[in-house]
Structure 1
Amino acid sequence: MNIKRISLYPSVASIISLSLLMSPQVNAAAENAGEFYLGAKTGWSYFSGFCDPKEGCDDNSDDDAWGGSVYGGYQFNNWLSLEGGYNYLGNAKTYFAAEDVKSKIQNGELGLKADWNLGSAWNLFGKAGTSYNDIEHKSSIGESESDNNWSLMLGAGLEYQLSHNWRVRTEYQWFDDVGSSSVGDTDVHYVSLGLSYYFGSSDKGAAATAAAAATTAAMVQDEPMVEAEPAPEPLPAATLSKGAFGHDSTELTPEAKSSLDPVVTYLDQRQDVNVTVTGYTDSTGSAEYNQKLSEQRAQKAADYLTANGVDSSRVTVEGKGEADPIADNSTAEGREQNRRVEIHYVEAQ
């Protein structure tokens, strides 16, 4: 069977992805640390130099095809995942004077995926690992041959986090020398678009918090009642955190507006009290981006107060970015608590 052997010509994209993996700045937006995920993707495969007219094949031979994949993995921490999958890379067709050869190419891959956060939703990633390849060659004169080998896999891509559970990705992968040299080999370039689902919840801490509150309440009920002196009226405060804003948005949700309505009522009753609205973010993303986002979200809360009758001279707005965290930024629950807007009341001077 006359199938061409192709030399190794590493692509520029492969070098870029390897450089990304080695970068010390890798640190993704890890909403999904400690979670498993599954996904599917489809795309275009190109078999580099699969047909060389110098070896007798027709230069009209098909050296590209549509492919499809399923994949899954586990995200260990803020930036590192283990990912594996199956790729159907399509069929290459090589035409010779005496015969035609159809080569079905598929493989399984396993590698490490490293993330680099570009903001609150965008995520750049690189991959490095290995693949086990299976090629089935069938000729028009009835001959067939199976070809298997291991090869290097490198890749790079971009993800967008639609929600806590869903991410969409576009990806480039390079598989080196797919096929053994005794039969024929080719570099495979694979560009795809995929969708991933993460098996976790942004409300993972809610059940634990509720249980702790119930336990505390039970302990209080068991204590003997002690009559105490009435406490002075406290100045109330409000915190907008979970569910206050849409993902990567500065617009208040209906739940956040409901939380602000008692603030409006209190300020209407207490003309001697002013309010300070302070925005915060978690540590994901750049400090400059987080500072701007905290200011925008605080301003949205302040705008709601003034739109409902609170004089703007009584409202002070500030953003503190990722400063003053109230929880651990290394967990999804902690980051959710740190993404907040606090409303504090101060007596007018």
Structure 2
Amino acid sequence: MKKIAILGLSSLLVLSFLFTSCESVKNANNTQKGAGIGAIAGGVIGGIIGANSGHAAAGAAIGAAIGGGTGALIGNSMDKQAREIDEALPGADVERVGEGIRLVLKEDAVRFDVNKSTLTAQAKANLDKLVPVFKEYGDTNIEIFGYTDNTGKPEYNLTLSQKRAESVKMYLISKGLVSSRFKTSGFGIADPIATNDTPDGRSQNRRVEFAITANQKMIDDAKKKQ
């Protein structure tokens, strides 16, 4: 949680509760955090964090939280999936957020050339490493967020970033993943993870991020196990 905008009295009340609750779960394990964050009105908090932290994937993961015992079971499954993703693709940044996973595929995993949305051979090889994990955990939704560096006009980059997210989606579908699991969004030059003042930094910003969350079947199955 990097920064949260104050949006009026109602937001102040929500944020006051958020800060108190964040303190109580700060030292919890990931499964406990999943249950705790979900119990703190995950959708509302996810929207605030996602809009103001610079990480849409993190906001989407938190916003999908269910909470309670159901959230704890989902969180446990996400813990396992996050570990498997990290083992399959060490070059990726894997972060457990609430009851979901934020996955950042930057230059070491999936990079794009300037003004391009096509996947390189290296990008395809790295996505291939994720396919078995995504298939093993089939009861998840996968939202893909595309980004660009600041080269060119913002309006053009917005379209380009959407195409990058779509390229990743279509490749994963071609490998046997179900299309209904996916949603894509393009954010253009927003939310850079590195400086745009150097070639290396711009390369890192030409990336995709994933928000991996429970689908309805996973939620229903978790409720039955309580």
If the length of structure 1 is used for normalisation, what is the TM-score? Answer: 0.32
- The structure having more radius of gyration, on CA atoms, is 1
Structure number with higher strand proportion: 1
Structure number with higher helix proportion: 2
Higher RCO (Cα < 8 Å, 6 or more apart): 2
If the length of structure 2 is used for normalisation, what is the TM-score? Answer: 0.48
